[in-house]
Structure 1
């Protein structure tokens, strides 16, 4: 294999460990990429290969415009049905041990190598997932400025012993994809305050809803539409302002359809953007398309906004002394990233996550984020997401939480994501973050279906909770 540029020194040790410890695999959904593929991704794919993937001859075609493998249909063949876990050799965290300093370390060619994982935070989040007996759950916490992985906890009550949920991309991105659509709309000239009027569309989209109508009696700004996850507005604006090529390029910049360099094998997050079908294209922009991502990728999306538009690869091994920080890859302009953050803040202050983040005594200062919910029908699987970061003005932690529930559930991802933020910030040195104000939420301002009906047709919404999360009764429920 010919490398087109030299590998950064900071990646040599992780790649060595990957070469030693990882089984061979493929980049198809539910499997792990080979070590050679990871090396090739970091080195950069030759222009001729990129052009070949895109089906053209132009040497400058962006990597990621075309999915590397066929994207499965969520309705006909949900990738979750083909979920495969990590092998023992690939599972770096399972091989880690605590050293005398309390750090998690793994054996390396020149001695033990410390991980960036915070053992206390990792244990706290794992315990939450276990205590609530989630069928499938994963949560990732990153330090946005460096990409250091502070926690990547997981648990499956449905498949005990399953490992690798944090890096598997078999989960529908749902309305988290509105982060990509929203970024593309901002670049197309739409501002966070621009209003769009609409009617209907809370539970079901139709082609008629894409056109303006005399029945459009409600109006939301783009920021409010992001906060409330207003599907019809995102569908209308996708149809009105974006092209399939523009949305493909935005997704590719956010590293969909591209490999992500990481010591633990990661699935490629696949995104199919339809061409030639305006309604399906609009649905995709609203979060109903065939788009899949891993929890690790979800946390990295949040980091882009936190880092004022820079993408930084996740880091699992503590860099050696005097190693320069990674410069990052420009994904968004600082101006667009700031507007995106403003839109994500609306999710927490007055949108789908408002009730959870205003729970008394559980506040998170300056939190911003995005929720997402979709469900498979047969068998029923309820996917819920929360991705975000805090504090808004000085980001210290970025999180992604995913829960796959059955019809009867205990917790969903917004609650888990808030806890990951809260516990992550609590691990920082005293004085790093201003304390949150303790506010109660008036009952009349939090509709009961505010979150569970967020973006799913009526026949696919989640079931009744088995207990209220965050209470003593829920924690001790058998």
Structure 2
């Protein structure tokens, strides 16, 4: 028979079997346990010394004999491998960082001590990074304007905390909209094209590009150079702010290659998994080799799709010296006694650009809100004494998409008065009738962040 140490281990296995079998199957559980004891008694008697010195390996052998997988809680440290709500798994404890199980996203309904929390089975409590004041105000703003689809994500660029996490479908809160990468990136991709050209020292913000047609025309008839007909002229910074399509098609054809653009897109997080405690769909960028397809893609008209979370982190990385941090929603997890089992930390993911190019991009993106496509949403900031010194930089994007069907209006950007800084992504999808657009939502969110005191400001 097993020694006292082994007997204690078997008693714990017995308790686990009772819990997993249920009262209605108690006789079967006892019989099963007896069979397990018979099978493992020899194992203990042959190697009792090894069992006492290495209990973990012993439990592994018992589990293997019984068919118990590693997903069951540990019998020693009592730490579960996942946390449940109403007996349904919602958070997987994966290594050092907890991860939300696909299909579960908090609805941020319970506030304690000024913070959103979710109480789980076993007395565990999750404290979320989302700021209640910012979340509720932006939600009411979007719902009041009856936007068919409205999205707003805000992040702290320095640590990756998501401080606003709003997605709505016809006035119903739907946070799953934020995880999907089915939205066309549209002119947001001009950020990638600009970064690529700056990285290869092909352009500067003041490089002047001549073209013809109209500001938003696109096609081979417009991007083929002709000195006599190319009478329109803008600097690259002005073209980024006004989102002039032909300028970026010409930049790509003259200075870049498809492979260059693919590599820069990958550095920004396209075509790769972005680590997070949220299961984010990977954004994709298909850059074709044929020149016409390449030109279209560089101006934002290619097969390029992005998630709102990724879009916000692109803006965040540019305001963080070109470094993308790990986006996350879980700030900490406590047990029933209030002990902190997990506390978030700022986690470095990867660089998207050098600090110099990131600063240059932010300066170029300021033209969007000063005299570009986002100026209407921000023109009142200049008359507000608390916002006058806040520097806003952004990029808009407009295109028709199919999933969901509608007209897409993007704004991503950052706002800073040195400290704190906020990065946002805002999106509206409508069917041609609208009262607000993405830039309006972004402006409202940034206004709330700087002009109204958030609840125990999360960004730190």
User: TM-score of the superposition, structure 2-length normalised?
Assistant: 0.71
Measure the CA separation in 1 of the matches of 2:144 and 2:199.
Answer: 43
Are the counterparts in 1 of residues 155 and 164 from structure 2 also a CA contact under 8 Å?
A: yes
Q: Give the match for residue 218 of structure 1.
A: 232
Q: Give the match for residue 175 of structure 1.
A: 187
Query: Aligned in 2, Cα 1:392/1:331: closer, same or farther, shift over 3 Å?
Result: farther
Q: Give the match for residue 373 of structure 1.
A: 398
Q: Give the match for residue 413 of structure 1.
A: 438
**2:368 matches 1:355:** no
Q: Give the match for residue 241 of structure 2.
A: 227
Q: Give the match for residue 105 of structure 1.
A: 117
Are the counterparts in 2 of residues 295 and 400 from structure 1 also a CA contact under 8 Å?
A: yes
Q: Kindly state the Cα deviation for residue 292 of structure 1 after the two structures are TM-superposed.
A: 0.8
User: TM-score of the superposition, structure 1-length normalised?
Assistant: 0.68
**2:418 matches 1:404:** no
- Give the unaligned 5+ runs of structure 1: 1-12, 24-34, 43-85, 433-478
SS at match of 1:175: helix
Match of 1:300 among 313, 317, 324: 313
**2:269 matches 1:248:** no
Structure-to-structure mapping, 1:426-437, within 5 angstroms: 426-427=451-452
Are the counterparts in 1 of residues 181 and 305 from structure 2 also a CA contact under 8 Å?
A: yes
Are the counterparts in 2 of residues 138 and 403 from structure 1 also a CA contact under 8 Å?
A: yes
Q: Give the match for residue 282 of structure 2.
A: 268
Q: Which has the larger strand fraction? A: 2
- Give the unaligned 5+ runs of structure 2: 1-78, 333-339
Are the counterparts in 2 of residues 175 and 372 from structure 1 also a CA contact under 8 Å?
A: yes
CA deviation map 1:222-250 (0-9, x unaligned): 11111010100000001111111111111
CA RMSD of aligned residues (A): 3.3
Match of 2:177 among 139, 146, 165: 165
Measure the CA separation in 1 of the matches of 2:188 and 2:147.
Answer: 21
SS at match of 2:366: helix
Q: Give the match for residue 352 of structure 2.
A: 331
Measure the CA separation in 1 of the matches of 2:403 and 2:270.
Answer: 27
Are the counterparts in 2 of residues 306 and 395 from structure 1 also a CA contact under 8 Å?
A: no
SS at match of 1:91: coil
Measure the CA separation in 2 of the matches of 1:219 and 1:233.
Answer: 9
Are the counterparts in 2 of residues 141 and 424 from structure 1 also a CA contact under 8 Å?
A: no
Query: Aligned in 2, Cα 1:112/1:356: closer, same or farther, shift over 3 Å?
Result: same
Measure the CA separation in 2 of the matches of 1:338 and 1:14.
Answer: 44
**Highest CA radius of gyration, 1 or 2?**
2
Query: Aligned in 2, Cα 1:273/1:136: closer, same or farther, shift over 3 Å?
Result: same
Q: Give the match for residue 35 of structure 2.
A: none
